[in-house]
Amino acid sequence: MLSSAIHKARWAIALTFFVHGTILGSWIPLIPLAKERLDVGTGIFGLALLAIAIGAIISMPLSGVLINRFGSARVTTTAGVVFCLAFILPPMMPDLWSFLPAALIFGAAIGSMDVAMNSHGIAVEKALRRPTMSLLHAGFSIGAMTGSLWGALLLRLIGETGHVFLSSAVCFLVFLLAIRFYLPTAIDKGLSGEGFVWPTRATIGLGLLCFLALMAEGAVVDWSGLMLLERFALDASTAALGFAAFAAGMSFSRLLGDWMRMKIGAARLVRWSALLMATGLALALVIPSVPIAIVALAFAGIGIGNAAPILFAGGGRLEPSAPGRGIAAVTTLGYAGFLAGPPLIGFVAELTGLTMALGLVVLASLVIAASARAAGAADAY
């Protein structure tokens, strides 16, 4: 395969990650508004968010099967179109009973696109023969930061409905620019003899670490705005700056992540990253200052930024005879954490308060640091 085609595919899938992050970032400032519109307590709203997790977890193994049959490029294309359109549904629902099926569809689109684009990212990394997953996830983080700031601005200028439809349309058009440069479908079509199976002994440990890493990321994504809003009585658009800082920190660390992985190795990078995440979030939860709390969230983002890309890369290498199966398994466990983490935090917050509930994320980060040796699988080139 021509080197120019591989590099074009690298930037195309990075742009895909950017679109995915932009839509999720655009969802962030809408979360407090959704809770207010549904007029439910923290626990019930956590249950409503669980519908997103259920939709994603159902779709992820199905995406693994479809990738094996049709290739990650085709599945990413289809899932991306659905995702851009499904974003419109949850913010438009007026009550809990209409929100739940809308959230389920939105979650299914999130899950299928996550598995597919990460699988295609692994294919690109293998074709390049050097690390690139951190760069791809930097695209997601930059998109999430962009979507969050863009969303906060549009809420002030044109309101919730205008923000939702404009964001969906812009992301859809940008996504269409990327798909023509993907690697051929044959690159991973039918590569493994099976579709998705539950993790083997080779993947389960890495998958559980990925579960914790993305649980931490998902919890900050969905609850950092509400945490700042409750602690400091901010408005929704200002509270969204906390997540924007977190996403900016992730973007910064991921832009350097591939270089750092080559210099110090995957295991050491994951260990120090997880410790920085734990420290930054702990400070954000206890410091009685809005600016310092926002800066602490930025450092937490720097910490957690490279964990998921490295763990995904390891998942694509633990089963060399069936890399599609490995990445589907680890990605499914990881994004189960990303999407199940927010409702879990909501349930615990109902009993202990949101600040104490987010302490579970600090604990999860410490577990990752203690178990980081497993991430060394990502260095197997």
Is the pLDDT confidence value at 148 over 70?
A: yes
**pLDDT digits 0-9 by tens, 196-245:** 555 566 677 888 898 999 888 888 877 877 788 777 777 766 777 787 88
pLDDT of residue 36: 82
Share of the chain above pLDDT 90, in %: 28
pLDDT of residue 117: 92
pLDDT of residue 311: 87
What backbone phi and psi angles, to 5 degrees, belong to 188?
-140, 15
pLDDT of residue 275: 94
Is 324 contained in some domain? yes
Is 192 contained in some domain? no
Instruction: Report how far residue 108's alpha carbon sits from residue 58's, in angstroms, rounded to the nearest whole number.
Output: 7
Is 294 contained in some domain? yes
Is 209 contained in some domain? yes
* CATH number for the domain harbouring residue 60: 1.20.1250.20
* Domains contained in the chain, number: 1
Pair of tokens at residue 112: 């299928």
53-61 mean pLDDT:
84
Is 99 contained in some domain? yes
55-81 mean pLDDT:
87
Structural domain span for residue 293: 3-181+198-379
pLDDT of residue 313: 80
**pLDDT digits 0-9 by tens, 70-81:** 888 999 999 999
Of the candidates 172, 154, 18, 144, which has an alpha carbon nearest to the alpha carbon of residue 87? 172
364-369 mean pLDDT:
93
Stretch among 51-60, 118-127, 229-238 having the lowest mean pLDDT = 229-238
Of the candidates 336, 331, 356, which has an alpha carbon nearest to the alpha carbon of residue 346? 356
Q: pTM for this structure?
A: 0.80
